[in-house]
Amino acid sequence: MNNDTICALATANGIGALGIIRVSGNEALSVVQKSFPAKNLEKQKSHTIHYGYFMDEEEAIDEVMLSIFLAPKSFTTENSVEIAFHGSPHIGKRILETLIKNGARMAKAGEFTLRAFINGRIDLSQAEAIADVIASENEASRKVAINQLKGGITNEISVLRTDLLNFVSLIELELDFAEEDVEFADRSALSGLLDKIEVKLNSLIESFQYGNAIKNGTAVAIIGKPNAGKSTLLNSLLKEERAIVSNIAGTTRDTIEEVLHIKGHAFRLIDTAGLRETVDEIEAIGVKKAKEKVENANILVYLADAATEDFSEDIEMIQSLLREDLKLIICATKIDEVIPTKYETVEDIFRSAISHEFDFIKISAVENQNIQDLKNELSSYVEHLKTEENNVVITNQRHFEALRKSMDAVHKVKEAISFQISTELLAYELRNALEHLGEISGEVTNDEVLGNIFSKFCIGK
């Protein structure tokens, strides 16, 4: 199938000023030539653009510009042509139908990038970074994806693999001379290398929490009793009337999710139903959903009405929702309606009752008071996840799992050395560590993994 000439729409579906169709394969030039009489494409230089009409036999389909990229200087390393046409979906469809009639076939999801990987132009982590660049929705995710596209992860891993491979070679040599009882690999030097690898792997593994926040956004659950001001806060943060605000308790029946960008980071704000005991069946479902959202949230913003006299129910609710890894922010709301000494007392009450670390902010969403303080607190949560010593950030779950498996293998190698276990077992665990590291760049992979990765790409990429 890699010898086929493939084609696909590379731009988004819908009407636009321009659309682009990509064609790649050994016969790309001849396939397009059948519909482009204006020039002899076989005689044109690489990286040149040509004007003319794209024809279906005697009928002109559209006025187009062709960009030619000759092998190996193309994205796929194959002969490639990009056809820029007026952005009508109908015209794009007609051009694709004609290309297929000329001998091409429709590309599968991610097939252009798959060919770039198979042909050695990029490694697997770079291929995945391309998808991340396309999907990036904020500045932080764009920067991380571009760094990965430039080979950031591969560069880190390749150094580790090279050093480890040298020792594997020496260990394998010992196996060849097993009867001689000789030792080619210095065990103390190997232990020193393993310590170094362990530190690097640990740094990369720890970066995943920050990377996941960048790539998928940080989940923020806005929780509180009915009429604590949750929907008002959501509207204030988003600067739009996204949620219905009413003095009637229980207005929010379902969860509302919106994305807020703060300092280049994405936060998935979840406005939930007010937490209380209720006989209303629909409201009860909303309360259940609210608790489920907290279970999957990174940050809990709990709103407590500053005018309340008894906070025991709020304290009980907070304690029932807490987890060790949950960031807690308690906001005393509606401070425009109470005297300053009142909300200072509120903080003292929560501090004395809740042992879990939390930040306390007094706000008025109606008057927009101290809303920026809350935004700063959300932003600082993500910034504190970042480790200064490591410029490479892991954002991919597959990479994270491979790194954890590599770390497990390294631990087993260290145990094998410590307990002077046989050279055969030592070699086996070293190969395991190498294999898991190689899974990240694609030096070690299988068709099932490749199929899963590239099936998530859009067609045309």
Q: Tell me whether residue 94 is annotated as binding.
A: no
Q: Is the pLDDT of residue 342 over 80?
A: no
Higher pLDDT among residues 433 and 10, named by residue? 10
Instruction: Give percent of the chain above pLDDT 70.
Output: 86
Q: Does residue 261 or residue 247 have the better pLDDT?
A: 261
Residue 252 is assigned to a ligand binding site? yes
Q: Which two tokens stand for residue 339?
A: 């005297």
121 appears as a binding residue in the annotation: yes
Most confident of 176-185, 328-337, 420-429: 328-337
Is 60 exceeded by the pLDDT of residue 432? Answer: yes
DSSP for 239-308 reads: TS--S---SSTT---S-EEEEEEETTEEEEEEE-PPPS----HHHHHHHHHHHHHHHT-SEEEEEEETT-
The candidate with the shortest Cα–Cα distance to 76, out of 10, 141, 11, is: 10
pLDDT of residue 276: 47
Cα(27)–Cα(8) distance, integer angstroms: 15
Is 38 in a helix, a strand, or coil? coil
Task: Flag whether 231 is marked binding.
Answer: yes
Does 218 appear as a known binding residue? no
- Annotated binding-site residue? 247: yes
Q: Is 272 annotated as a binding residue?
A: yes
308 is in an annotated binding site: no
Does this model's pTM top 0.75? My answer is no
227 appears as a binding residue in the annotation: yes
Q: What is the pLDDT of residue 395?
A: 85
Q: Out of 1-10, 24-33, 233-242, give the one with best mean pLDDT.
A: 24-33
Q: Is 273 known to sit in a ligand binding site?
A: yes
Average pLDDT score, the chain: 84
Q: Is 82 annotated as a binding residue?
A: yes
On whether 236 is known to bind a ligand per the annotation, the reply is no
pLDDT of 247 above 70? no
Q: What is the mean pLDDT of residues 227-238?
A: 86
* 155 vs 96, more confident: 96
The reply to whether 246 sits in an annotated binding site is: yes
**Beta bridge pairs of residue 56:** 59
- The DSSP letter of residue 75 is S
Per-residue confidence (pLDDT) for residue 80, from 0 to 100: 97
At 2 the pLDDT is: 67
| pLDDT 10s digits, 378-417 | 999 988 887 655 578 888 888 899 889 989 988 888 887 7
The answer to whether 390 and 201 have CB atoms below 8 angstroms apart is: no
Residue 182 confidence class, pLDDT cut points 50, 70, 90? low
Please tell me which residue, 423 or 101, carries the higher pLDDT value: 101
Percentage of the chain beyond pLDDT 90 is 34
pLDDT over 80 at 177, yes or no: no
Query: Is there a binding annotation on residue 461?
Result: yes
Indicate the burial class of 233 (C-beta count within 10 angstroms; 0-12, 13-18, 19 or more): buried
Q: Which residue has the higher pLDDT, 92 or 419?
A: 92
Q: Is 229 annotated as a binding residue?
A: yes
Residue 364 assigned as binding residue = no
Determine the average pLDDT of the residues in 42-61. Answer: 95
